[in-house]
Amino acid sequence: MTTTPQKALGFFGEDADFATLSEVTDAARAGLSPDVRDFLDGGAGREVTLRRNRQALDRWAYRPRVMTGLGVPDLATSFLGIPLGLPILTAPFGADGLFHPEGHRAVARANAAEGAVSIVPEAGTHCLEAVAEAAPVAARIAQVHPMGRPANFFALLHRIEDAGYDAVCVTVDCPTAGWREGNRRHRFNLDPAVISGNYPASGPVALDEVFGQLFTRTEPVWTWAELGERMATTRLPWMAKGVLTAEAASAAVDAGASAVLVSNHGGRQLDGTPAALDQLPEIAAAIGDRAQIALDSGIRSGSDVVTALALGAEVVVIGRLAAYGLAAAGGAGVRRVHQLLRDEMRTILTLLGAGSVRELGPAFLQEVRP
């Protein structure tokens, strides 16, 4: 007997009839030009860190409990006070208009339909207000970069508050753009239109004034003390994204962060860093229960999500997977990514003998080394 895969209906008539996440990825890659495909797929330098992210996830094996008498696993949780139907946030990947005209507006609508939450980018195609208007239930966290003139930073924080966001994601590992060989090989030049949603040409702040430092450093990198002082001007809780060491995690919490996002930027910033997953234990030990922990970098399946949660993350953040869904079929593609992740996670939790994602811990895993 054959079954028909569940379909996710799009917002512009797209039909996401994908049976697996690999089909989503294949469809997305087939529809992108080589330079944009490499922009999405590639990493920094020789892509050592990109490979390490995958290798770290593959190094863990499950230790299932059987005959538990448990019912259907519960995937619901919360993060930064925000309820989630899935332990998933979508990453603030910029240049979203390269993958679909609606960009993060479509991502947020898909998240709202599937119980996930968006981290909305500063360097996005659509302004943070437009994304919030598209799906206020899902557009709950807004990203900022701690660089440039403090006055511009404060103005952005005020916009985030006024637009109804519940939290802020501060990306701390991007004071300059990573050395990306693939982009250079393709002579890839990013169209300013796909990152200028929050800084239109007619606006009070010029795009180059904000993001010019990513390519030509003109001002010193901020310190944790400066970031803490500046974030104290908002009433919203904030998360430090791009933390890879116990020292950085402790500094973030001391500066006022309510959460840390353990991340190496998906291998796109500093090549040669450890896999994000490998850093979870030392970071969890360093901050204890003083802050929540999220993880991104390398997540490609529901199995990866479960592994990350068992090792100490409370939620995971998906970037490339969400972008692949967007490129494959717009909002319908992102919805299908969530549906497939949900179905796989439920299957794995059932076979593991875990009643909910909140029960997951190291006892469900063992490390396997060659």
Q: C-alpha angle with apex 238: 73 to 145, nearest 5 degrees?
A: 120
126 annotated active-site = no
Q: How far apart are CA 211 and CA 214, in angstroms?
A: 6
Q: What are phi and psi of 293, to 5 degrees?
A: -130, 130
Q: How far apart are CA 236 and CA 84, in angstroms?
A: 18
3-state secondary structure of 138: coil
Alpha helices in the chain (DSSP H): 21-31, 34-41, 48-58, 103-114, 128-134, 150-162, 181-185, 207-211, 224-231, 246-254, 276-287, 302-310, 320-352
Tokens 């063992």 sit at which residue? 366
Closest-CA residue to 203 (of 155, 143, 167, 154):
155
Tokens 């995971």 sit at which residue? 316
Token pair, residue 30, equals 């087939």
Token pair, residue 214, equals 């990513």
Q: Which of 100, 126, 265, 338 is catalytic?
A: 265
Closest-CA residue to 263 (of 296, 292, 294):
296
Contacts of 154 (CB under 8 A, 6+ apart): 230, 233
Cα separation values, 274 from 267, 281, 292, Å: 9, 13, 21
Catalytic residues: 265
